């Protein structure tokens, strides 16, 4: 073992070096057949793992490599979506609109997507992103709050954008409630609704039954269903396969798993796994592997990994992007990050409530000092 070369005879779909022309001919834009569409979120979810410090050069490199590999949708935004650059979530090094424009400039076939969270970003942000060339609007809400996105789906459709709804922290809602919220998004104009496992907390059948319920609700309207996984419990790929088998047509990944928490389902592993299963993604495996290995890996400061904190996130159902914030607060106030995350899970905080991490760190610090006082025998 140890030789990680792909054995051509093992790869049913893309097992040999293919020419660029062949890849292009296989794109759906060129009429090629696909069974599902992979959206790469390295430049959006990966922004969390990069503390929002992406440079234009990195963005151009990643987009160019993904585009060459035949990835059809590439998401570019601050990790928390448009307008996320802030005290609460971390300031971007480069204005996301410049990064989106660079991505649009670099892509030859891939569509550039943006993410937005109503309550943080507004229609104004969406219009600015569309003006610099973003053509897919991914609009995210907590899984039970879809009705805050109604105006945004309407506007995105009016702008001529493709629309995708994102029901975040999907483990927090029953399949039925998730389906009801998917219904609200589709009625508002979503063409696809994702079950988003923001905490990496869905384990196999948990993911599949949610996908089935959502398809059951919105499939008859022609809306697609997607799955966005995290690796906190190492389930990203397996859940994605189950999602596909349940009927999902769009799956998210990120190169080298670059994403919040323990990272996302790695795009290159999705490509290889689906290829093994004979499921056509339109992605050139050799190209996507080199995109991960040669383009992304070199600039990652710390590979996302399943460690005590990120596993705690999956176990306790905590929004993955809280990880680095908890580590920083833990350091600042002298308390362990995984204890902060555990308590975030107990309190049920949702995506966007990063400010509560400081609060919890202060509480834990206070409890510790009281504990020290008690231990010293002071009454």
Partner 1 sequence: MTGQNARKASAAIVGPGNIGTDLMFKLMRRSDIVEPRFMVGVDPTSDGLARAKRLGLETTADGVDWLLAQDELPDIVFEATSAKAHEANAPRYAEAGILAIDLTPAAVGPYLCPPVNLSFNLDATNVNMITCGGQATVPMVHAVSSVVPVTYAEIVASVSSRSAGPGTRANIDEFTETTASAVEAVGGAEHGKAIIILNPVEPPLMMRNTVFCAIPPDAAEPGELKDRLLESIYAMERTVQEYVPGYHLRTDPQFDPARETWRGQARVFIPIEVKGRGDYLPDYAGNLDIITAAAARVGDLMVAHRFGVETTWKSSADLGDLADSLTGVRAKAGI
Residue placing its CB nearer to partner 1 in the complex, 124 or 297: 124
Of 40-48, 96-104, 211-219, 353-361, the window that binds partner 1 (rule: CB under 8 A) is 353-361
Residue placing its CB nearer to partner 1 in the complex, 16 or 127: 127
Q: Does 62 bind partner 1 (CB under 8 A)?
A: no
Cβ atoms of 228 and 210 closer than 8 Å: no
d(CA 166, CA 244): 17
Q: Does 94 bind partner 1 (CB under 8 A)?
A: no
Q: Does 86 bind partner 1 (CB under 8 A)?
A: yes
Cβ atoms of 283 and 38 closer than 8 Å: yes
d(CA 330, CA 327): 5
Residue placing its CB nearer to partner 1 in the complex, 89 or 244: 89
Of 12-20, 37-45, 306-314, 357-365, the window that binds partner 1 (rule: CB under 8 A) is 357-365
Q: Does 350 bind partner 1 (CB under 8 A)?
A: yes
Q: Does 151 bind partner 1 (CB under 8 A)?
A: yes
Candidates 181, 247, 185; CA nearest to 215 is: 247
Q: Is 48 a catalytic residue?
A: yes
- Collapsed DSSP state (helix, strand, coil) of residue 155: helix
Residue listed under structure tokens 């006082």: 373
Residue placing its CB nearer to partner 1 in the complex, 280 or 328: 328
Residue listed under structure tokens 């809280």: 322
Q: How far is the CB of 376 from partner 1 (least distance, A)?
A: 24
Site for partner 1 in 328-347 (CB under 8 A): 332, 347
d(CA 247, CA 207): 12
Q: Does 166 bind partner 1 (CB under 8 A)?
A: no
- What is the Cα gyration radius of the chain? 20
Cβ atoms of 282 and 26 closer than 8 Å: yes
Residue listed under structure tokens 């929002």: 52
Q: How far is the CB of 300 from partner 1 (least distance, A)?
A: 19
Of 210-218, 223-231, 255-263, 348-356, the window that binds partner 1 (rule: CB under 8 A) is 348-356
SS3 labels along 335-357:
CCHHHHHHHHHHHCCCCCCCHHH
Count of residues that bind partner 1 according to CB under 8 A = 34
Q: Does 174 bind partner 1 (CB under 8 A)?
A: no
Residue from 16, 124, 127, 297 binding partner 1 (CB under 8 A): 124
Cβ atoms of 246 and 212 closer than 8 Å: yes
DSSP-derived letter for residue 298 is: G
d(CA 86, CA 5): 43
Contacts with partner 1, residue ranges (CB under 8 A) = 83, 86-88, 91, 93, 118-120, 122-124, 142, 144-145, 147-148, 150-152, 172, 332, 347-353, 355-356, 358-359, 362
Catalytic residues: 48
């Amino acid at each position: 073992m140890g030789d990680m070369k792909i054995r051509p005879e093992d790869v049913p779909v893309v097992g040999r070096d293919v020419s660029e022309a062949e890849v292009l001919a296989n794109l759906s834009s060129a009429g090629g057949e696909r069974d599902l569409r992979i959206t790469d979120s390295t430049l959006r979810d990966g922004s969390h793992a990069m503390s929002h410090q992406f440079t234009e050069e990195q963005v151009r490199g990643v987009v160019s490599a993904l585009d060459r590999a035949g990835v059809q949708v590439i998401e570019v935004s601050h990790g928390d979506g448009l307008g996320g650059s802030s005290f609460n979530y971390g300031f971007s090094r480069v204005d996301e609109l410049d990064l989106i424009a660079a991505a649009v400039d670099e892509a030859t076939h891939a569509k550039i997507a943006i993410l937005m969270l109503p309550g943080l970003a507004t229609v104004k942000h969406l219009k600015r992103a569309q003006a610099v060339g973003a053509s897919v609007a991914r609009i995210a809400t907590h899984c039970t709050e879809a009705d805050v996105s109604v105006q945004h789906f309407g506007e995105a459709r009016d702008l001529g954008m493709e629309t995708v709804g994102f029901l975040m922290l999907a483990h927090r809602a029953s399949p039925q409630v998730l389906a009801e919220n998917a219904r609200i998004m589709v009625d508002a104009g979503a063409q696809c609704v994702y079950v988003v496992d923001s905490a990496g907390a869905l384990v196999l059948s948990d993911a599949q039954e949610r996908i089935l319920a959502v398809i059951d609700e919105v499939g008859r309207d022609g809306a697609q269903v997607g799955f966005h996984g995290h690796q906190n419990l190492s389930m990203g790929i397996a859940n994605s396969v189950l999602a596909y088998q349940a009927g999902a047509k769009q799956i998210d990944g990120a190169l080298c798993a670059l994403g919040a928490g323990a990272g996302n389902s790695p795009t290159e592993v999705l490509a290889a796994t689906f290829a093994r299963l004979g499921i056509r993604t339109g992605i050139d495996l050799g190209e996507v592997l080199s995109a991960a290995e040669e383009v992304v890996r070199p600039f990652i400061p710390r590979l996302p990994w399943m460690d005590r904190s990120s596993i705690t996130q999956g176990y306790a159902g905590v929004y993955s992007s809280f990880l680095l914030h908890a580590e920083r607060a833990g350091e600042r106030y002298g308390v362990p990050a995984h204890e902060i995350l555990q308590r975030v899970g107990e309190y049920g905080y949702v995506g966007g409530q990063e400010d509560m991490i400081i609060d919890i760190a202060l509480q834990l610090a206070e409890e510790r000092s009281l504990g020290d006082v008690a231990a010293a025998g002071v009454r």
